[in-house]
Amino acid sequence: MRRLLFALAALLSLATPAVAETPVERHGQLRVEGNRIVDQHGEPVTLRGMSLFWSQWMPQYYTPETIRWLRDDWRVTLVRAAVAVPEGGYLEHPERETAKAEAVIDAAIDAGLYVIVDWHAHEPEPEAAIRFFSHIASKYGDHPNIIYETWNEPLREHGWGEVVKPYHMAVVPAIRALDPEGLIVAGTPTWSQDVDIAAADPLPFASIAYTLHFYAGSHRQQLRDKAQAALDQGAALFVTEWGTSEATGDGPIDEAEVRRWWDFMEDNHISQANWSIADKVETTAALQPGASGEGGWTDDQLTESGRLVRDRLRTMNPETSAAER
């Protein structure tokens, strides 16, 4: 009888597929330890995913259907909500843009993904940012999914010591008051490239990483050298936005440089989100014009950049395969 019971148990185990952990179940609350982002087990973690486009211009992709498709088909572990601040964004329509952010956050939590809540601005807007992030941290601060990106891309003229660091010194405590443990990614000058300058004069808070952005056709070894200098100074980095083309978002794909960047990020456990889920007619847009906001995109609805990045994500994130869920 005992042998029969063991045999039945074995058959049942074969018939019932294992349910894979979601990325958030696997890694839990992220934090910074030295120059690495680590998970709940203290192990370095490398998240790989996609950024949505400016929220005021591509709202059709701020949907649960898009997020689920990115999880199940693209196998992302991370999504990024680029909450537009100027040009018809949060400053003019705070309730509307906040609702878009919340739709993506709710979908990411439901899908077990990490989500970057990105204050997508080039100019400092500390009062509005404090209001926005205080709301987000109050509502979602108990979820380990949330990653706060406090300023997307300060411009070249916004010096670290003069403008950018004081901005973060105002905004970060507002988040910390409501979410003491959440991972915060702080933008750096020159469109988030001067990570070495920030690393030399770091923010005095725990669990802070610094934003590094690159576009492969424009930013090559010189920027990787700056990134390495920041790492050598003990800063943790997070590539919250990168593109396959020139910094304009257009021009040819530089696949050789893309692959050099991929190697650099993997070697240094740097998480990253590709720009972008959009159907704009430009090189870095992942989708062809008219691609649905409900996902389900076929290969011919992806651009060359979209196919390149999707293939990479599916190779590097096999554990999030829909077949395992």
Tell me which residues are annotated as active site.
153, 241
CA 57/CA 260 separation, integer angstroms: 31
For residue 184, give the H/E element and its range: strand 183-186
DSSP letter for 221, please: H
Q: What value does the CA radius of gyration of the chain take, rounded to a whole number of Å?
A: 20
Instruction: From 310, 243, 254, 314, select the one nearest 280 (Cα to Cα).
Output: 243
CA 168/CA 179 separation, integer angstroms: 15
Contact criterion met (CB below 8 Å) for 194 and 156? no
CA 284/CA 246 separation, integer angstroms: 9
Q: Which amino acid is at 70?
A: L
Looking at the DSSP assignment, which residues form a beta bridge with residue 52? 277
Q: Please report, to the nearest 10 degrees, the dihedral formed by the alpha carbons of residues 309, 310, 315, 317 taken in order.
A: 100
| 183-186 and 272-277 strand pairing | unpaired
User: Does a cis peptide bond (omega within 30 degrees of 0) precede residue 276?
Assistant: yes
Could you tell me the end-to-end alpha-carbon distance of the chain, in angstroms, rounded to an integer?
Answer: 34
SS3 at position 181: coil
Looking at the DSSP assignment, which residues form a beta bridge with residue 241? 213
DSSP letter for 261, please: H
